[in-house]
Amino acid sequence: MKNFDINNLVRVNVKVLKPYSSARDEFEDFDTANMIFLDANENPYENGVNRYPDPQQSSVKAVLAKNKGLNTNQILLGNGSDEVLDLLFRAFCEPKEDNVISLPPTYGMYGVLANINNVEHKEIVLSEAFQPKVEAIVEAVTPNTKIIFLCSPNNPTGNSFTTESVTTILESFNGFVVIDEAYIDFSDKASWLAKLDQYPNLIITQTLSKAYGLAGIRLGICYGSPEVIAVLNKIKPPYNVNELTQQRALERLQNQTKIDNEITSIIAQRESLLQVLNEVSFVKKIYPSEANFILAKVDNANKRYDELIAKGIVIRNRTTQPLCENCLRFTIGTEEENKKLMEALKSI
Ligand SMILES: Cc1ncc(COP(=O)(O)O)c(C=O)c1O
C-alpha cells in the first residue's frame, strides 16, 4: 500500500457522476422538525411506513459508531453484506478490464458478483492449512487488480487467517483488501476494525445476519476510510435500507446482553457438537472453528448428507469445493436442535 491512492481506483464514470439527490437528502432535519412534508410524493396518511426511510440511516450508524469506536463517516449500510460487496465492484472495478482475487474454498458471492459485474475473478486456493498463500497472491496481482477478498473467519472452513499473512497482503497491495468479518463475533481473535486508520486500503464488511440474529431484515455493514465511504454513498440506491430494517436493527442493538448470551450458547453448543463429532466413526477430520458452524470431513459426504436429510436435518454438503472433498458443514442450532443432530449422527 505504499503507493495507495484512491483516485487511481475509483471508476471514471463514478468519479464524474452526479448522484441522485432524494427529497430527504435535501431536507436534512426531516426526522426531528415539526414540518409538513409535501416534498416526496408520499401518501400523507400515517401507517408507520408511509414515509421514505432515512437515506443515511443516521440512528443505526450512530449506535454502530459508538459500539465500534468509529465515526459515522466510516460506515456504509446496505441491504445485506451482499449489496455492500456489489457496491464495491460497481465503484472500483471496470467491467472487462479489472480483476479481483478471492481465496477458495470461501464464500461464493465474491465470484458471483464478479461474474455479474463482468469483472475477471482470479482464484488462489488456500493452503492445506486453509491459510492464504501470500506469495502466490502477490504474484497474481496485476495493475488491474482492484480488490483482494479475505474472509476471516472463513466460510466454510471456520478458521481465521494469520495476522502476518493479512498484514503482508495489506502492505504489499495497492488496491483494496476487503476483509469479510461476517463471523467475527464467534471468534476470540480481534476484528481488523482497529487497523482501519492505519491502512487506507482496508475495507471491512460485517453483517447483522449471523451473531446478531437478524438475517431476515438484511442489514450489511461496510467499514472503511471516509473517502471510500463517500464513494460508495455516491452510488448506493437512495433508500437502500428500508424503515422496518432500521427500526428492528435499532431495537436489537439496544439489547447487547441478549446478543452476547446467544453468542455464548452458540459457542457452547459448537463445543458439544465438536466432542460428539469426535466420536462418530464416519467422521475422518474435524476442522477447528471460530464461527457458528463446523466443517468436518467424512467417509462419504453425499451418503451422509442424504442420511441426515432422511432424518429431517439439513446441513450443507461442501464436497465440490476445493480442498473440501467429502466435507460437510454443520451450522450450530439451538441446544434442542443440536441434541437431535447429535442423536442422528450417533444413530447413523
Ligand atoms: C462470509 C459471508 N459473508 C457474507 C454473508 C452474507 O451476509 P448478508 O446476510 O449480510 O448478506 C455470508 C452468508 O452466509 C457469509 O458466509
Rounded to an integer, the average pLDDT of 142-155 is 98
Q: What is the CATH number of domain 6-251?
A: 3.40.640.10
At 302-312, the pLDDT tens digits run 999 999 999 99
At 242-268, the pLDDT tens digits run 999 999 999 999 999 999 999 999 999
69-75's contacts with Cβ under 8 Å and 24+ in sequence apart are 69/193, 70/193, 70/196, 70/223, 71/226, 73/226, 73/229, 73/230, 74/196, 74/223, 74/224, 74/225, 74/226, 74/229, 75/221, 75/222, 75/223, 75/229
> Which of 76, 79, 81 most suits a substitution to test ligand 1, by most atoms within 8 Å of the C-beta?
81
- Please give the distance, rounded to the nearest whole angstrom, from the Cα atom of residue 293 to the centre of ligand 1: 13
- Please give the distance, rounded to the nearest whole angstrom, from the Cα atom of residue 205 to the centre of ligand 1: 9
**Mean pLDDT across the chain:** 96
pLDDT band at 28 (very low <50, low <70, confident <90, very high): low
pLDDT band at 30 (very low <50, low <70, confident <90, very high): low
- Ligand 1 within 6 A of 317 CB? no
Q: What is the pLDDT of residue 1?
A: 76
- The domain locations on the chain are 6-251, 257-347
Q: What is the pLDDT of residue 24?
A: 74
At 231-241, the pLDDT tens digits run 999 999 999 99
> What's the rounded Cα separation, in Å, for the pair 72 and 56?
10
* 6-251 and 257-347, same CATH topology: no
- Please give the distance, rounded to the nearest whole angstrom, from the Cα atom of residue 288 to the centre of ligand 1: 20
Contact of 14 with 91, CB cutoff 8 Å: yes
- Please give the distance, rounded to the nearest whole angstrom, from the Cα atom of residue 182 to the centre of ligand 1: 6
Whether a cis peptide bond, with omega within 30° of 0, leads into 19 is no
Ligand 1 atom closest to Cα of residue 183: 1
Contact of 70 with 196, CB cutoff 8 Å: yes
- Ligand 1 within 6 A of 160 CB? no
> Which of 155, 159, 179, 293 most suits a substitution to test ligand 1, by most atoms within 8 Å of the C-beta?
155
- Please give the distance, rounded to the nearest whole angstrom, from the Cα atom of residue 280 to the centre of ligand 1: 30
pTM over 0.95: yes
- Ligand 1 within 6 A of 86 CB? no
Decide if pLDDT at 347 tops 80. Answer: yes
Q: What is the CATH number of domain 257-347?
A: 3.90.1150.10
- Please give the distance, rounded to the nearest whole angstrom, from the Cα atom of residue 16 to the centre of ligand 1: 31
- Ligand 1 within 6 A of 82 CB? yes
